[in-house]
Amino acid sequence: MINGPEKRMLAGFIAARRLKASRRREDILDAFLATERHVTADELHAAIRSRHPGIGLATVYRTLKLLASCGLARQVTLGGGPARFEHAFRHRHHDHLICRVCGRVVEFSDPEIELRQEAAAAARGFSMEEHSLEIRGVCGACRAKAGRSRSGG
Partner DNA sequence: CTTCGTGCAAAACGTTTGCATGTAA
Partner DNA sequence: TTACATGCAAACGTTTTGCACGAAG
Return residues touching a copy of itself (CB under 8 A).
77, 80, 83, 95, 97, 99-100, 106, 108, 110, 112-113, 116-117, 120-121, 124-141, 143
Query: Residue 5's closest CA among 84, 76, 94, 87?
Result: 87
Partner in contact with 1, chosen from DNA, a copy of itself, none, beta carbon below 5 to 8 Å by kind = none
Q: Using CA atoms, how far apart are residues 32 and 36, in angstroms rounded to an integer?
A: 8
Partner in contact with 42, chosen from a copy of itself, DNA, none, beta carbon below 5 to 8 Å by kind = DNA
Query: Residue 100's closest CA among 139, 127, 54, 47?
Result: 139
Cα–chain-centroid distance for residue 93? 11
Partner in contact with 99, chosen from a copy of itself, DNA, none, beta carbon below 5 to 8 Å by kind = a copy of itself
Site of interaction with DNA (CB under 7 A): 14, 18-25, 40-42, 54-59, 61-63, 65, 81-83
